[in-house]
Chain A
Amino acid sequence: MALTEIRELMDGAAIARVLRRMAHEIIEREQGTDDLVLVGIYSGGVYLAGRLAKHIGEIEGREPPRGAVDITLYRDDLFEGLPRPVIGKTELPFRLAHKKVVLVDDVCFTGRTVRAALDALNDYGRPHRVRLAVLVDRGLRELPIQPDYVGLRVETDVDQSVKVRLVEKGEQDRVVLFRKEPDARGEG
């Protein structure tokens, strides 16, 4: 898929500031870290959950436990011609019952990923509640799903793509808006 860069939405410093703000918001709204767990969605969400947990630990003196979910097996477009996916390791090293879960993803777009992640969580237990934190909300939802904690809201078109580059993936911290070639398909 050919991508042409339109503009940078956030640089490394902006990402760091936004994550610190989100950490504060989470603590405030979840009333501390009691029963709080962060669950990242593969792969960007897992790294962001790690950074948020660290910030929360610095502020509250106690880092919330972290988990990871891979949603491949729960996708609604699994056999529709996407390249055969690699599956990440789902790790939820705690019981979900009665937990306040904050799901973390890098970009919120159609909402289908989050739908799949909620189904996956359901197979592990019944949490007290689930909230959603995303670094970028690019709109264009196809399901009734809205994030509770948002780093940056940005208006986009369907022919655009938002990429979150992270140091953990071997890249420089950046969020970039791209234009996709008309024939290409992909996810934001």
Chain B
Amino acid sequence: MFSQRHLLDIESLSREDIVTVLDLAERFREISERPIKKVPTLRGKTVVNLFMEPSTRTRSSFEVAEKRMSADSLNFSASGSATKKGETLLDTVRNLQAMAPDFIVIRHAYAGAPHFIARHVDAAVINAGDGAHAHPTQALLDCATIREHKGPLDGLEIAIVGDIAHSRVARSDIFAFTKLGANVRLSGPRTMIPRHVEALGVRVEPTVEAALEGADVVMTLRIQAERQGGLCLFPSTREYARTFGINHQRLALAKPDAIVMHPGPINRGVEMTPEVADSERSVILSQVTHGVAVRMAVLFLLAGSPPVE
């Protein structure tokens, strides 16, 4: 069963909710392999994709998912929208609401924007990334990818390496992985590890080597320069690559069948070497495939929600 009306973050999901999405996504993957890659399930439903922050991967993944479910979608982006002309988010949303959409998929630079919108519309709101807060569909697709390659997450050792503090992916991943019973270790420059992050049930390792030791999964994250507010949190990308970049020597510390993941966009030679990114250990493209299926599953589950009273 799925208990949610919106998908705003991973914290509000139960373990059962997450497993429901993953099971369904497993079925939905097959739809993308058919001669006619479309089911009529969401015929007549309207989705607004409101992307107030640049995105290629996530937006196109949502669009493909919407099309494969036969929903009608329309796209708003920050550059082309009235926001540039001074409209507030609430006014934008009220105008969208007047068009009676069934779903609003929103990406916004400010944390909490999707939650704010959810309070003002009848549509089901899906958070496609809000500031440094949450990116729930990314976490769900990461879980789906891990489950395909490694089986259930219970007891798996997962290392998350990079800019934890500014990464909404890291935050959502941590909640999802720990809810599914995995052990999570973090590594990155001290300036990019939030204080008291251990309270989330994760371990902070002193070195990237310690984090990789015996890991089943290595999740690498991009340096979120745009969210660091101009602060100088590390000396240079070259030094970062030397100290934290994943190369074959470091990867050898992980389990022999460990997989390497990245939410994209990847900076080759920084978060990982091109050799690692292109090796058979890398499941980065498999993440993209799972992304479409997971988003189809989320749309399906939220479509059945009862309307607000």
Q: Hey, which bits of chain A sit against chain B, CB under 8 A?
A: 70, 73-74, 78-79, 84, 87-90, 119, 122-125
Contacts and interface: CB of A to CB of B under 8 A. Distances in A.
B304 A84 contact: yes
A78 B304 contact: yes
Given A73-B40, A73-B41, A78-B304, A87 B35 contact: no
B248 interface: no
A115 to B, nearest CB: 12
Nearest to A74: B40
A79 B304 contact: yes
B305 to A, nearest CB: 9
B34 A84 contact: no
B39 A73 contact: yes
Contacts of A70: 27
Contact of B30 (A79, A84, A89, A122): A89
B116 to A, nearest CB: 27
Contacts of A119: 40
B257 to A, nearest CB: 26
Nearest to A84: B304
A84 B305 CA distance: 10
B190 interface: no
A73 B34 CA distance: 14
A89 B30 CA distance: 9
A90 B303 CA distance: 21
A125 B35 CA distance: 7
B39 A74 contact: yes
A28 B279 CA distance: 55
B103 to A, nearest CB: 13
Contacts of B41: 73-74, 78
Contacts of A87: 24, 27
Contacts of A84: 1-2, 301, 304
A90 B30 contact: yes
B38 interface: yes
A125 B34 CA distance: 9
A129 to B, nearest CB: 19
Contacts of B39: 73-74, 123
Contacts, number: 35
Interface residues of B, number: 17
Contacts of B27: 70, 87-90
Given A74-B39, A119-B40, A125-B35, 19 more contacts: A70-B27, A73-B31, A73-B39, A73-B40, A73-B41, A78-B41, A78-B304, A79-B304, A84-B1, A84-B301, A84-B304, A87-B27, A88-B27, A89-B27, A89-B30, A122-B36, A123-B38, A123-B39, A124-B35
A56 B35 CA distance: 29
Nearest to B70: A73
Interface in B16-42: 24, 27, 30-31, 34-36, 38-41
A100 B40 CA distance: 25
Contacts of B30: 89-90
A99 B40 CA distance: 24
Nearest to B41: A73
Contacts of A122: 36
Contact of B36 (A79, A88, A90, A124): A124
A124 B34 CA distance: 6
25 contacts: A70-B27, A73-B40, A73-B41, A73-B300, A74-B39, A74-B40, A74-B41, A78-B41, A78-B304, A79-B304, A84-B1, A84-B301, A87-B27, A88-B27, A89-B27, A90-B27, A122-B36, A123-B34, A123-B35, A123-B36, A123-B38, A124-B34, A124-B35, A124-B36, A125-B35
Contacts of B24: 87
Contacts of A89: 27, 30
Nearest to B301: A84
A88 B27 CA distance: 7
A79 B301 contact: no
A80 to B, nearest CB: 9
Contacts of B300: 73
A69 to B, nearest CB: 11
B169 to A, nearest CB: 28
Contacts of B38: 123
Nearest to A120: B39
Interface in B37-85: 38-41
Contacts of A73: 31, 39-41, 300
Contacts of A78: 41, 304
A123 B30 CA distance: 12
